[in-house]
Amino acid sequence: MSKNQEIADLFEEMADLLELTGANAFRVNATRKVARTLEELPSDVGDMENDPKQITAIDGIGAGSAKRIIEYLQDDQIADLEALRSEVPTGLIQVLGVPGLGPKTVATLWKEANVTGLESLRKAIDRGALESLPRMGKKTVDNIRQSLDFVAAASTRYRLDQAMQEAESIVASLSSTPGVNKITYAGSLRRGRDTVGDVDIIATTSKPDALAERFTSLPEIAKVQAKGSTKCSIRRTSGLQVDLRMFKNVGYGAALLHFTGSKEHNVVLRQRAIDRGQRLSEYGLFEENDGDEPRLLEAESEENIYAALGLPWIPPPLREDRGEFVDQLPTLIEIKDIRSDLHSHTTASDGKLSIEEMAKAAKKRGLKVLAITDHSRSSFQANGLDVDRLKAHIDAIHEVNDNIKGITLLAGSEVDIHAEGNLDYEDDILAQLDIVVASPHMPVKQEPAAATKRLIRAVSHPLVNILGHPTARLINRRAGLEPDMAAVVAAATDSNTALEINANPMRLDLRDTHARLAMEGGCMISINTDAHGADQFDLLRYGIMTAQRGWVTADRCINTWTTAKLKKWIAAGRTS
DNA sequence: GCCGTTTTCGGCCCGACTGTTTTCAGTCG
């Protein structure tokens, strides 16, 4: 298992503790950057123990951090971190996570009021120890108390689909407000991240006060946190925070660009502007003007701002500072490219509709191919099919296929991958299917090495066409398997097996970074909804967003292929 | 702490809101 995440967590902790000691902010930032760099590093820093040069060659990691990384690899601890831990109560890191409390305030709370964690903060508030501190009035203390309650109650990030539903409903409610010209959501939601911390809405309007009024009096608001003429902030009863930014009827592109982020992407863009004697903010791209007011170069469209910075327009899912600042970007896959869904369920196992009803629902959405892949026998909780039921089911699918026009049905199965990597049906049964999706279900907790072995064995099976939801994670509920994904990708590439991006927003598995690995490793991708009913076909959009974040192109996704090409690929995979 | 075809030292992105202030610090995104 890669050491990257483990060490990244330590650097993140180090950054928090440094901040609390009042360390130089740039040093804190540099430490956080090391953490982020490690998180996204495709190779394992654990393999570089004997080669410091290899570590310092990584952008953002210098000699100091390399030394600490090697120290951890050899001694299992970092002396500087241990020193910080003994200096600063580690419970203060949770206090830093309370909205409204930053490093300066937390340090004051610690030194002046003996706050060492969430519990002692609560007690300090209750005994009135905070009011006497500098810049600490009644209102501030009240806000801290409320934030504390919120932290105790809420999970920190919201699933993409949950945030999307709230955002789309808010945008729809506000778009008819008098004066509003353009309005949309931005932020990590627009970038299609699998979870979002809050929702950012951008609007241009000639009457900001009217819009602010409407926004802060929407239904389902738990608290209005800020209300100004350019910015408002609310917390919904769901716990989700929504920020509204209002702009005059100019500069929509600059605003959208700024608030779409990511922060890391924006930092690079701004630096690029500075290198050209320019300045980029949410109001536009400006040119220095000999001490006079800077001159506005461009603000209306994202395309023009990028162009002025010498870049092509960068699609929001790519805006993560993960290599997107290049002259030529790939053409990302879109919903309209998708012709088939190769993972779906019917009443034969745990779906809600019959074969024919699913086929009609898929056809109605413009799909040309639908694979019916009900659960295999070991998934008894999902009414998985034993061999006799499966044989009858194959016949039933073929019969519906013979009688329906405009869509091709494939008789498949979502076959459980057992703990050791063996499959839930014998080969002679699998050979009777038109397509095989093999997925890990139980167990979902396994040592990384065992999980890697399990998945490699499954993708290497000649009768397996697609590896379904490879890690079996459930967002905000369980972490799932942690295989060496690069090794799984390599095995899948060798055996011509596609890796699935399961579009169900509870899964989004492969996740974005894994999809990117798959693209770089050369294996095929399959984007499927895993639909258990008609409305779940509409979840495809989330799978597409994840695919775009993984730099997936249409030609590498088997669901974009013609029926003939798809069938040929399935057949070819089975001869090996 | 990291970085560098103008630099191995001196920089490191920008602006709004809140709550406390009488001119601004801290936080957030």
Task: Answer yes or no: is A388 within a domain.
Answer: yes
Task: Answer yes or no: is A281 within a domain.
Answer: yes
**Residue closest to B1, CA→C1'?**
A27
Q: Sheet harboring A180-185: ordered strands across?
A: A180-185, A198-205, A241-247, A231-236, A221-227
Place A507 in a pLDDT band, splitting at 50, 70 and 90. very high
Q: Is the CB of A67 under 7 A from strand B?
A: no
pLDDT one-digit tens code per residue, A118-139: 999 999 999 888 888 888 888 8
d(CA A125, CA A148): 11
Domain's final residue, options A129, A153, A177: A153
Q: Is the CB of A229 under 7 A from strand B?
A: yes
Residue A266 and residue A188 in one domain = no
Task: Answer yes or no: is A218 within a domain.
Answer: yes
Separation of A107 CA and B21 C1' (Å): 21
Nucleotide nearest to A227 (CA to C1'): B17
Residue A273 and residue A299 in one domain = yes
Task: Answer yes or no: is A520 within a domain.
Answer: yes
Q: Which residue has the higher pLDDT, A412 or A277?
A: A412
Task: Answer yes or no: is A329 within a domain.
Answer: no
Residue A492 and residue A381 in one domain = yes
Query: Which structure tokens are listed for A87?
Result: 């200096």
Alpha-helical regions (H) of A21-62: 25-40, 52-56
Cβ < 7 Å from strand B, A residues 121-140: 134-140
Q: Examine residue A219 and say whether the peptide bond preceding it is cis (omega within 30 degrees of 0).
A: no
| 3-class DSSP state of A498 | strand
Domain's final residue, options A247, A276, A296: A247
d(CA A109, CA A239): 26
Enumerate residues 6+ apart whose C-beta is below 8 A from A229. Answer: A208, A209, A212, A246
Q: How confident is the model over A449-454, as a mean pLDDT?
A: 94
Residue A169 and residue A267 in one domain = no
Cβ < 7 Å from strand B, A residues 20-59: 24, 26-27, 29-31, 33-34, 56, 59
Q: Is the CB of A456 under 7 A from strand B?
A: no
Residue A357 and residue A297 in one domain = no
Amino acid identity for residue A95 in this structure: V
pLDDT over threshold 90, residue A166: yes
Nucleotide nearest to A135 (CA to C1'): B20
| Residue A43 confidence (pLDDT) | 80
Separation of A28 CA and B4 C1' (Å): 21
Residue A348 and residue A463 in one domain = yes
Enumerate residues 6+ apart whose C-beta is below 8 A from A34. Answer: A8, A11, A60, A61, A65
Residue A497 and residue A401 in one domain = yes
pLDDT over threshold 60, residue A576: no
Residue whose entry in the numeric block shows the structure tokens 């924006």 = A266
Q: Is the CB of A287 under 7 A from strand B?
A: no
| Residue A1 confidence (pLDDT) | 59
DSSP code string of A102-126 = -HHHHHHHHHHH---SHHHHHHHHH
Q: How confident is the model over A255-275, as a mean pLDDT?
A: 91
| Structural contact between residues A466 and A492, judged by C-beta atoms closer than 8 angstroms | no
Domain's final residue, options A97, A128, A153: A153
Residue A229 and residue A274 in one domain = no
Q: Are strands A284-289 and A525-528 parallel, antiparallel or unpaired?
A: unpaired
Query: Which structure tokens are listed for A218?
Result: 């929407």
Query: Which structure tokens are listed for A575?
Result: 């001869």
Number of structural domains (chain A) is 4
Q: Is the CB of A478 under 7 A from strand B?
A: no
Task: Answer yes or no: is A530 within a domain.
Answer: yes
Residue A108 and residue A14 in one domain = yes
Residue A389 and residue A503 in one domain = yes
Residue A108 and residue A170 in one domain = no
Cβ < 7 Å from strand B, A residues 196-225: 197-198, 200, 225
Residue whose entry in the numeric block shows the structure tokens 């320019």 = A278
Work out the burial of residue A22: count CB atoms within 10 Å of its CB; fewer than 13 is exposed, 13-18 middle, 19 or more buried.
Answer: exposed
Separation of A32 CA and B1 C1' (Å): 10
pLDDT over threshold 70, residue A290: no
Separation of A107 CA and B10 C1' (Å): 28
DSSP code string of A347-399 = TTTT-SS-HHHHHHHHHHTT-SEEEEEEEBTT-GGGT-B-HHHHHHHHHHHHH
Enumerate residues 6+ apart whose C-beta is below 8 A from A135. Answer: none
CATH number at residue A274: 3.30.210.10
Enumerate residues 6+ apart whose C-beta is below 8 A from A90. Answer: A13, A17
pLDDT one-digit tens code per residue, A34-50: 998 888 787 889 889 88
| Structural contact between residues A130 and A139, judged by C-beta atoms closer than 8 angstroms | no
Residue A195 parent element (H or E): strand A195-196
For residue A48, CA distances in Å to A72, A193, A342 come to: 12, 31, 41
Separation of A290 CA and B29 C1' (Å): 31
Task: Answer yes or no: is A254 within a domain.
Answer: no
Positions on chain B within 7 A of a protein C-beta: 1-3, 11-21, 25-29
Cβ < 7 Å from strand B, A residues 82-121: 98-106
pLDDT one-digit tens code per residue, A401-434: 999 999 999 999 999 999 999 999 999 999 999 9
Enumerate residues 6+ apart whose C-beta is below 8 A from A180. Answer: A174, A203, A204, A205, A207, A211
pLDDT one-digit tens code per residue, A518-551: 999 999 999 999 999 999 999 999 999 999 999 9
d(CA A4, CA A536): 36
Task: Answer yes or no: is A36 within a domain.
Answer: yes
- CB-hemisphere CA count at 13 Å for A425? 30
| 3-class DSSP state of A481 | coil
Query: Which structure tokens are listed for A75?
Result: 């001694």
Place A442 in a pLDDT band, splitting at 50, 70 and 90. confident
CATH number at residue A172: 3.30.460.10
CATH number at residue A393: 3.20.20.140
CATH number at residue A112: 1.10.150.110
Residue A451 and residue A548 in one domain = yes
Separation of A107 CA and B3 C1' (Å): 30
Residue span of the structural domain in which A198 resides: 158-247
Residue whose entry in the numeric block shows the structure tokens 């770089």 = A520
| Residue A92 confidence (pLDDT) | 93
